Structure 1
Amino acid sequence: MVPSFTFRPPLPSDVESLAVLHVRCWREAYGHLLPEEFFTEERLESRRRLWAMLTAPPSEAPQPGQTIRVAEAAGEVVGFAGGGAPLDPEEASLGQNLSMLYLRQDFHGSGAGQALFDAVLPSGPAFLWVAQDNPRAQAFYRRNGFVLDGVEDVLEDFGGITEARMVRR
């Protein structure tokens, strides 16, 4: 049975569940790339701060032009996505930016990831960064018209994971 989902903007009351979900999704997506010591209380606290900032009233929002949506199933937040204007002016020529898309592993293949993607990223030129060693995510983005453009970046503060940029023209 396919679960029923609700999609909505995140609320301040979601901060804790989103922070916990964010770290859980990191563990599910990158656990084979990162040591267990990566998943500390400090990481969880950094996600709490991020989500407190992202759920602040619009007048206090640090990232104008961003759309963020969460997916709920049975009253529980199970995924989230964010996209919009690029945060780095040097990437503005690439179009809109998918800044994040995470869905609990037990909901992969449910359609929720595609619905979140569609809710935050309009059609047209866009780009995103994805872990180089994340073939499932890369396949999802290819189905949505993205291709690797050869640009990579090593995230030293994220366990040295190499990210690859994907673009859609």
Structure 2
Amino acid sequence: MIIRHATVCDVDAIAAVHVASWDAAKEGLDLPTRRTIEVRRERWAAYLAAGEGTLQVADVAWILGFIAYGPSRDADRRGEAEIYTLYVAPEAWGKGVGSALMEGVSRDTTVSLWVAERNVRAQAFYARHGFTPDGSREGGLHLPVVRLTRDGR
């Protein structure tokens, strides 16, 4: 498996992984269904064009997952990093793809991320990578999210 920077040629595959992973993760979690491949394709093409962060993919002749990260967007976390999103194709869950993607995020800086409060699987994954809740919570009734952080060394 190769972890590499995404290109515009990867947008269709990234969108497909995003939607498949969201759909699989939301089962039993009562999460909103508002992700379509077309909307995700447009979003990731715009993200790449803007060049505001890093987008990497796990590639084994097809895209197994992706991670987007960059400077924190939270006012109280300026100067730190943020993982904007991390998705792995459901058929690759538990096979080290997410962990491989996490390797690109520096351990030397403090990193935060937001995760659905009811997504215990994702929270357990991030806990294995040193993330802990910092007490911040956002969102309404439909998708409350909590912030997790990992201090830099």
> What is the TM-score of this pair, normalised by structure 2?
0.87
1:101 is paired with a residue whose SS is: strand
Tell me which amino acid in the other structure corresponds to 2:82. Answer: N
Pairing partner for 1:48 from 41, 52, 63: 41
Structural mapping, 1:94-133, within 5 Å: 95-119=80-104, 121-123=105-107, 124-133=109-118
Which structure has the highest helix share of the two?
A: 1
Aligned to 1:34: 31
2 CA distance for matches of 1:165 and 1:103?
A: 20
Q: Alignment RMSD, CA only? A: 1.9
1:86 matched residue in structure 2: 72
User: Shift of the alpha carbon at 1:155?
Assistant: 5.6
Could you list the per-position Cα deviations for residues 16-35 of structure 1 after superposition, in whole angstroms to 9, with x for gaps in the alignment? 12112211111011233236
Partner residue of 2:126?
141
| Percent sequence identity over aligned pairs | 32
8 Å contact kept, 1:7–1:69: yes
Runs of 4+ in 1 over 6 A off after TM superposition: none
CA distance in 1 between counterparts of 2:134 and 2:42 reads 32
State whether residues 83 and 100 of structure 1, in contact with CA within 8 Å, keep that contact through their aligned partners in structure 2.
Answer: yes
Aligned to 2:148: 166
CA contact (8 A) 1:23 1:39 kept: no
Aligned partners of 2:75 and 2:86: how far apart in 1?
21
* Alpha-carbon distance in 1 for matches of 2:110, 2:48: 27
Tell me the equivalent position of 1:19: 15
Aligned partner of residue 110 in structure 1, secondary structure: coil
The one-letter code of the counterpart of 2:106 is P
Give the C-alpha shift of residue 163 in structure 1: 0.6
CA distance in 1, matches of 2:77, 2:24: 29
